[in-house]
Amino acid sequence: MSESLSITASSVDPGLLQLPWSTGLGDWPSSHIVALPKGISRHLVRFANLSGRVVAIKETTEEMARREYDMLGNLDRLAAPCVDRVAVIAGRTDASGRPLPAALVTAHLRFSLPYRALFTQVLRPHTATRLVDALAVLLVRLHNVGFYWGDVSLSNTLFRRDAGEFAAYLVDAETGELHGNRLSPGQRAHDLDIARTNIAGEIMDLEAGGRLEGGVDAIAIADGLVSSYHSLWGALTDKESFAVDESWRITERVHRLNALGFDIGEMSIRTASDGTQVSIQPKVVDAGHHQRRLLRLTGLDVEENQARRLLNDLDEFRARVSRLGADEEMVAHEWLTRVFEPIVMAIPWDLRAKLEPAEVFHQVLEHRWYMSQARGRSVPLAEVVSSYIDDVLRHRRDEATVMGPPTDTMSIPTVSDSDAPATGEVPTTDTDLVDWRDLV
């Protein structure tokens, strides 16, 4: 290892020193590489094992690596949905002393997948809609904290299951800019134009490869993101005016935002000079309304839609056991120990990497509904859990991390630097992806 090697890390991990930094990333031995589905990247990216966890390593310039490392740190402090930074590795040289690219190391987001791994042989319209809706929510959240992305695309995003929908996370902040105040309309519009162009191109690329189901319109899908974005942004930021005797509309606006998963941290309220009209406009809006409530009540840290679903079940439990007047924290503890934990603990150890516990719980509730509908009666939960494990969960792929040697459905790319195009983009083929036939 070169004495000039420089490691900037967010936390001390001695395992960083054990990785073969004096070897180009494309030539790393298989003992260090982890096989995971990956998206398209303009840089060489590999997954590696670091002290028992999985990290993503991207070769780039030192300037870009440090810039993105700092940006991810800033986004994390703003609670924006993004991958966690781990380290920047600079001053790399090979055995002959020739310089090697710097490397950015980020933590692999457990239970997340690139968009190409979230469909089977072809992309179905419903899956495409859910993906762009999740990306629209992500873009609104990023813009709300003053982040201009500059390269919005499905490829630069990771997706996690969220109670029948998806939650999106930024995975590439290389082109991003963080502004202290809210972005200008022009900056937001430019990000949306980039998103529309990139998404339409990505969907058309799938169509050219025969991976698009008939009836899927790439332009319509891209337009759907723009429409979803404008609808949510308006709900969060639009000014609303009403008569002074309609003050109940302030509470209604708060409840409407809560239903969308947002809390109002600050609101501007102004009255007209004649005292007949009131105008309100949210000034500070924070995402994660249901997440925060569930975390406070139970300690469970899950995605927003998962939190909404678990809270609904908790409220139903409270009504069933006639605890409507009881302390909310006590009822939540009872629900956690009597309902949620028994279901999660019933999952065999060898199946627990299939899905997150909260997603398993959501799917068990869905399975119970379908079984009860089919039989015309309520089915005991124990029978539902047993059926779900044997008939559904056991046949799914693991989504925590897909590790192991290459198989006929998953392989580690072997593209060398000399094989890469002049632009630095690494070709990605379907052999980079797991066969996810039983996922969606």
To the nearest 10°, report the CA torsion of 125, 130, 136, 141: -170
Which of residues 85, 108, 131 is at a domain's end? 108
pLDDT of residue 37: 63
Assigned token pair, 387: 């059926």
Look up residue 283 and give its two tokens.
């000034």
Residue 403 forms part of a structural domain: no
Find the CATH number of the domain harbouring 79.
3.30.200
Which segments of 122-164 are extended strands (E)? 147-148, 157-162
Q: Are residues 309 and 341 in the same domain?
A: yes
Residues 131 and 233 in one domain: yes
In-domain check, residue 49: yes
Residues in the chain: 440
Residue located via tokens 């995003």: 157
pLDDT of 52: 86
Are 141 and 213 within one domain?
yes
Looking at the fold, whether 253 and 227 belong to one and the same domain comes out as no
> Can you give the pLDDT at residue 336?
95
Question: What pLDDT is attached to residue 39?
Answer: 61
pLDDT of res. 40: 67
Closest CA to 219 of 189, 233, 198: 198
Asked if residue 428 is part of any domain, the answer here is no
Both 330 and 386 in one domain: the answer is yes
* Confidence at residue 128, expressed as pLDDT on a 0 to 100 scale: 85
* CA dist., res. 171 & res. 157, Å (int): 5
Domain assignment present for 337: yes
- Interatomic CA distance for residues 304 and 165, integer angstroms: 10
- Phi and psi for 272 in degrees, rounded to 5? -70, 160
What is the structure's pLDDT at 138?
96
Residues of the chain predicted below pLDDT 50: 1-2, 402-440
Q: Are residues 22 and 57 in the same domain?
A: yes
Beta-carbon neighbour count of residue 401 at 10 Å? Answer: 19
Asked if residue 169 and residue 131 are part of one domain, the reply reads yes
Please give the tally of structural domains in the chain: 4
Is 233 found in the same domain as 299?
Answer: no
In a domain, 355, yes or no: yes
The candidate with the shortest Cα–Cα distance to 421, out of 44, 24, 21, is 44
Q: Structure tokens of 1?
A: 């290892």
Instruction: Look at residue 338 and tell me if it is in a domain.
Output: yes
Indicate whether 367 belongs to any domain: yes
| pLDDT of the residue at 36 | 74
306 and 220 share a domain? no
* Res 431: pLDDT: 29
Task: Say which CATH number the domain at 230 has.
Answer: 1.10.510.10
Q: Are residues 136 and 214 in the same domain?
A: yes
Q: Verify that 121 and 223 share a domain, yes or no.
A: yes
What integer pLDDT is reported at residue 326 of this predicted model?
A: 72
Task: Domain of residue 79: give its range.
Answer: 6-108
Whether 413 is in a domain gets the answer no
**pLDDT reported for residue 325:** 65
On whether both 121 and 92 belong to a single domain, the answer is no
Q: What is the pLDDT of residue 323?
A: 63
Question: Other C-beta atoms within 10 Å of 198: how many?
Answer: 18
